[in-house]
Structure 1
Amino acid sequence: MSEAFEETGPSAWVLKPITEIRGVRHALTMTLDGMVQATSENLTKDEADGIGAMTAALHSASRAATNAVLGAPPSTPLTTVTSHNDRGTYMVMPVGEGTNTLIAAAGDQDMPMGVVAATMARQAMKLGEQIMSVPARTNDGVS
C-alpha cells in the first residue's frame, strides 16, 4: 500500500483509489495544456506544475508521433502513454471523450501496472462523466 495521501484540488477525489494501490508514488489530473487540477499531497506545487507541463508535452508529442507513424488522422485520441525506467513507470491517459483533461500516475517497480491502468481508466471515466454533466454557462453568467 502507498503512504496515506491527502489529495488537493477540486478533482482530488478521483486520485484516492489510484494512490491507495501498492507502489503508486504520485497521481495528478491536469488540463491538456498542463495546468494541474489535482495532485497527491506528496508533490509540492512547483513539482506538480513542472510535471503537469511536461506531461502535457509528452501526451501531445506521443499523440502526434503515434498518429503520424500509424497514418491516423491528427485528431485521433491516444488511450494511454506509458514510460518506464529502472526506477518505475509513469502512465498518462485522457479523462473521457470531449474533455481537455489528463490523469497520470507514477509508481515504483512493484506497482501493478494492470491494476493501476484499470483503476485510472475507471476513475477517468467517472471524472469525465462529471465534467461533461456540468451545464454550460450562458452569457448572463447563470448556468
Structure 2
Amino acid sequence: MILSTSRPVIKDPSWVLNPITEVSKEVKHALILSSDGMVIGATEGLLRETAEGISAMTAALHGAARAAANAALEAPDGTPITTITVQNTHGTYMIMPAGARTNTFIAVAGGLDMPMGTVAHIMARQAKKLGEQLMSVPARTQEAS
C-alpha cells in the first residue's frame, strides 16, 4: 500500500481499496487521490512513481471533464460531477468523488471484463465511507500547526 507523505489523514487506505479490488480479478488497481493530484493511497503493486503520475493526470482529467460537462449542460461553473468513466480497448478507468466537500477521489482501473456495475456500486459505498471519515477529522488550528 502506498501512503501519502503529505496527507496522513488515512493511515492505512486498504480498508477503502481492498473491498473494491477484491470484487474481481479484472480490477487491476485502485487509488485514492486529492483534487490537486496528490496520492493519498494506492493498492499494492502500483509503483509510487506510477501512482503519482496517474493521480496528476486524473486530477487534470476531472477538472477538464467537469468544465466540459458544465459548459455542455449549461450548468453553473461549480457544479460537481459524480463519476467519470473512460473506456478503451484495454479496459475501463472510473473516477468517483469521496463525499461532497472532501476534494478527494477514488479511481479504479480494470480490464475489459471488469464488472463495471458491481465495481461502481462498491466504489460508491467505499467513497461514502471515506467521505464520512474525512469529514469527521477535526480541522487544524493555528495552535496545532
Instruction: Please report the TM-score for the alignment, with normalisation by the length of structure 2.
Output: 0.90
The aligned counterpart of 2:2 is 8
The aligned counterpart of 1:4 is none
The aligned counterpart of 1:36 is 39
Q: How does 1:78-117 map to 2 (within 5 A)?
A: 78-117=81-120
Q: How does 1:47-86 map to 2 (within 5 A)?
A: 47-86=50-89
User: Over residues 57-103 of structure 1, what are the superposed CA-to-partner deviations in whole Å (9 max), with x where a residue is unaligned?
Assistant: 11110000000000001110000000001110000011101111010
Mapped partners of 2:107, 2:46: distance in 1: 13
The aligned counterpart of 2:131 is 128
- The Cα of 1:137 is off from its aligned counterpart by 1.9
Mapped partners of 1:55, 1:140: distance in 2: 34
Mapped partners of 2:43, 2:143: distance in 1: 36
User: Over residues 94-127 of structure 1, what are the superposed CA-to-partner deviations in whole Å (9 max), with x where a residue is unaligned?
Assistant: 1101111010000001100000000000000000
The aligned counterpart of 2:8 is none
In percent, how many aligned pairs have the same letter?
59
What is the aligned-residue RMSD (CA, Å)? 1.1
Q: Give the conservation status (yes or no) of the 8 Å contact 2:21–2:27.
A: yes
Runs of 4+ in structure 1 displaced over 3 angstroms?
none
Instruction: Please report the TM-score for the alignment, with normalisation by the length of structure 1.
Output: 0.92
Gaps of 5+ in 2: 4-10
Gaps of 5+ in 1: 1-6
